Amino acid sequence: MKSRIERRFKNSSLTKKILKLAGNLIFSLVLVLMIVLLLFVVQSRLADTMPIIAGHQIYVVLSGSMSPTFNTGSIVVVSMTEASSIEKGDIITYIDPENPNVIVTHRVRGINTEPSLSFTTRGDANDADDLYKVPAENLIGRVRYFVPYVGYVVSFSQTREGVLSLILVPSLIIIISELRKLIAYATEMDKKKKGGLILNENGEGGESKA
């Protein structure tokens, strides 16, 4: 009977430890996400561009021209690369030769060296190459990675509503949650002191000594 009770106690303690570990992990992930979003917002607002992290620039995909490789709402991580290192088949991000206010991400279909270095490009979802050639000086970089759907979150985080919803509100929730834990812990310790009990390392109770 005693061993059964001990096993139940151990299982209960293990479950509490696992839940606590899971809670800490979720808290850490949420905290990291909020910090990243905050960096996105601050940097993009100050520089009026998408943020640069560790030499990589982040862009949100706004069209489906590269589907099914990646779709609208994805983000692409672009490393700034020398034009001479670009190869056929690479996916590159560049300034549209016909509209300098537009950033395009398409695949390289051909490399032209005359009269100067340029690239023939095409979106994976398109049936024909782009009508223009991309001059080497318009190149921003080569796409290294892409992450689906995150672009929606990034775009939303740059709005006033997004800042409130994704950064301030979760921050307040975490702060309130931690305060409640501290208050509960302080209350529990106060009760133990009043009851004249101190928990030892094994969780067993004993009378306090004056």
pLDDT at 207 over 50: no
Distance CA 105, CA 58 (A): 12
| Cα–Cα separations (whole angstroms), residue 59 to 56, 75, 79, 155, 188 | 10, 5, 11, 10, 50
Specify burial of residue 88 (Cβ count, 10 A radius: 0-12, 13-18, 19+): exposed
| Cα–Cα separations (whole angstroms), residue 101 to 48, 49, 94, 97, 168 | 12, 12, 11, 10, 32
Distance CA 121, CA 132 (A): 8
Whether residue 108 contacts residue 124, with contact meaning beta carbons closer than 8 Å, is answered with no
Whether residue 36 contacts residue 58, with contact meaning beta carbons closer than 8 Å, is answered with no
Please give the torsion angle defined by the CA atoms of residues 26, 149, 47 and 34, in that order, rounded to the nearest 10 degrees. Answer: -10
Distance CA 148, CA 72 (A): 8
Instruction: Provide the pLDDT confidence category of residue 99 given band limits of 50, 70 and 90.
Output: very high
Between residues 105 and 7, which one has the greater pLDDT? 105
Q: Would you state the pLDDT for residue 24?
A: 72
Give the domain ranges of the chain. 2-48+159-194, 59-153
pLDDT at 96 over 90: yes
DSSP 8-state secondary structure symbol assigned to residue 53 = E
Q: Enumerate long-range contacts of 69-72, CB under 8 Å, 24 or more apart.
A: 69/107, 69/124, 69/146, 70/146, 70/148, 71/148, 72/151
Tell me the β-bridge partners of 199: 205
Q: What is the pTM of this model?
A: 0.57
Query: pLDDT tens across 133-185, in order?
Result: 999 999 999 999 998 887 776 666 666 676 666 667 777 777 787 788 788 87
59-153, superfamily in CATH?
A: Umud Fragment, subunit A (2.10.109.10)
